Amino acid sequence: MESSWPALCTLAALIALLVLIIRYQVNAFVALLVVSLGLGLAAGLPPERVVDVIAKGVGDIMRDVAVILALGAMLGRMLEACGAAEVIARTLINTFGEKRASLAILVAAYLIGIPVLFNVGFLLLMPIMYRLQKETGRSLLYFMLPLSFSLGITHSLVPPHPGIVGAVNALHGQADAGKIMVQTIIFGSLMGVPLVLLGWFGPGLWWSRQQHVTVPEHMAAPATAQDSRIVPPSFFMSVLIVTLPLLLSVAGFGAQLMQDLKLLPPWLTTPLLAKDEVSPWFWWLGHAPLRWLQFLGKPTMALLIPTGLAFLLMGARRGLSADKLAAIAGKGLNDVGSMLFLFGAAGGFKEVIQASGAGAFIAEQMRELPFSPLVSAYLVAVLMRIALGSATASILTASALLVQVASNMPGQETLLVLAVACGVTFMTQPADSGFWMVKEFGNLSVRDVMVRFNACRIPMSLAGLGLLLVAETLW
């Protein structure tokens, strides 16, 4: 009983968290902070240590997520302001043709969703969905569902989105977090494609044919912030900017992988100049090209470079003043201000779970379950999504419960991270802001979202788990 007490306290804390957020509408940051304090005290941590443990968790998650989240938000705002997102969507729709417009939307949203948060991407592209519905007379679902599926999958499965980044940093076990991060970017990006295709060409397409939905007349179409004086960037430049984070990450990971396999040519692993030959002006030649590739592949650099290029090539070079660029960056930072506090509180909660010993006990119990640790991790994430609503809060909380499990799965940390990510794609519910965005902008009822929309998401989530189980047998 004594060893299970922290786990029982954790269970009570999760229930209390759910009640505070859903029943009493307590702000999620406040609820997480209060529950973390209560859990630490109830689990037997010394009172003076509880606050220190929470502070450590907050600091760790802020260190890992803050810069990435800020850069992603600024990049999203820049894509909105210059019209790059609409350029991508419109070009693909014209290329694929009206009959295949849904596939064009799916591809465009998938590309845009890699660096951009779900809410930002949704508001960015919904005006195009509205115009398409009015022009074609088709159900709005025919355009909105592939948009929602693509943005939802990339938001949960592909770094640099904050939830999956937090999961990597929590569940990398004994492995290098950077290596697991890049593996997650590559495998998450590839795995998400069949999941989105399954969701749309399976239950999604059937639903769009069964229910005709029009643009909601009571609500103005969400407008983008594009400056009318800006000439939109080319399709090539737009696609390059939104996919550059993925390309840089792949380059860094690929170089490291080739190095581990001893397949790199010597010139990539040897500095161009010896250290004693390097002058202060050419210090960069004292490092091997491999090191620079690894540097560019770090998540922070993989986002910083595209963001800087977007502000330079899509903003300054196209007539935006320094004041305008500063305002765009400021809006992006405002978008994520409250999110950062929420993630910090979730990190504090995670640290208390570990310090109390609950994480080790849960890991021990999961090893005794009659199925794979990946299935266990997936089920934990599903329960967290049902309980908490927010995909990001759910993946961070589920990861907190599974930290010790990752230590017992050397070499399979990436699979564990993606199992948690697939679990949080299982469904949406009213505590999730995305739930209300889909309902209101999609002109749907609560029942439509709870039943029909989730009926599309559940097969996608289960298919993701199936792919991971296959990968586990081959790993």
Distances in Å between the Cα of 183 and the Cα atoms of 189, 216, 396, 418, 465 are 10, 41, 19, 10, 17
* DSSP code string of 358-382: HHHHHHHHHHTSSS-HHHHHHHHHH
pLDDT category of residue 143 using cuts at 50, 70 and 90: very high
The residue-averaged pLDDT of 64-90 equals: 79
Q: Could you tell me which of 157, 147, 123, 156 has the C-alpha nearest to residue 200? A: 147
pLDDT category of residue 261 using cuts at 50, 70 and 90: low
The residue-averaged pLDDT of 170-184 equals: 81
pLDDT category of residue 180 using cuts at 50, 70 and 90: confident
What percent of the chain stands above pLDDT 70?
Answer: 87
CA distance 153 to 189: 9
Answer yes or no: are the C-beta atoms of 77 and 62 closer than 8 Å. no
63 contact partners, CB below 8 Å, separation of at least 6? none
The token pair that represents 351 in the structure block: 């640290």
Q: Which pLDDT belongs to residue 222? A: 44
The token pair that represents 376 in the structure block: 């266990």
Answer yes or no: are the C-beta atoms of 244 and 305 closer than 8 Å. yes
Asked if the bond preceding 160 is cis, omega within 30° of 0, the reply is yes
Distances in Å between the Cα of 414 and the Cα atoms of 88, 229, 248 are 31, 45, 19
What percent of the chain stands above pLDDT 90?
Answer: 21
**Number of other CB atoms surrounding residue 310 within 10 Å:** 28
Please tell me which residue, 420 or 93, carries the higher pLDDT value: 420
CA distance 266 to 209: 58
Q: What is the pTM of this model?
A: 0.69
Q: Which pLDDT belongs to residue 150? A: 95
Q: Which pLDDT belongs to residue 422? A: 95
Answer yes or no: are the C-beta atoms of 378 and 423 closer than 8 Å. yes
Q: Could you tell me which of 397, 455, 448 has the C-alpha nearest to residue 426? A: 455
Whole-number mean pLDDT of the chain? 82
pLDDT tens across 320-378, in order? 888 888 988 888 788 677 767 877 787 788 788 878 877 667 666 766 667 788 998 89
Answer yes or no: are the C-beta atoms of 345 and 28 closer than 8 Å. yes
Q: Which pLDDT belongs to residue 315? A: 85
The token pair that represents 314 in the structure block: 């899509």
Which stretch of 5-9, 50-54, 123-127, 410-414 has the lowest confidence by average pLDDT?
Answer: 123-127
Highest mean pLDDT, choosing among 198-207, 282-291, 440-449? 198-207
pLDDT tens across 227-256, in order? 555 678 888 888 888 888 878 877 876 777
The residue-averaged pLDDT of 158-186 equals: 82
For 287, left (φ over 0), alpha (ψ -120 to 50), or beta?
beta
Q: What stretch of H or E contains 413?
A: helix 413-424
Q: Could you tell me which of 135, 75, 150, 137 has the C-alpha nearest to residue 105? A: 150
pLDDT category of residue 409 using cuts at 50, 70 and 90: confident
Query: Residue ranges of the alpha helices (H) in 116-218?
Result: 118-136, 141-157, 162-171, 177-199, 205-210
User: Is residue 183 scored above 60 in pLDDT?
Assistant: yes
pLDDT category of residue 152 using cuts at 50, 70 and 90: very high
The residue-averaged pLDDT of 81-100 equals: 80
Q: Which pLDDT belongs to residue 383? A: 80
CA distance 303 to 249: 9
- CA-atom Rg of the chain in angstroms: 23
CA angle 189, 190, 192 (to 5 degrees): 70
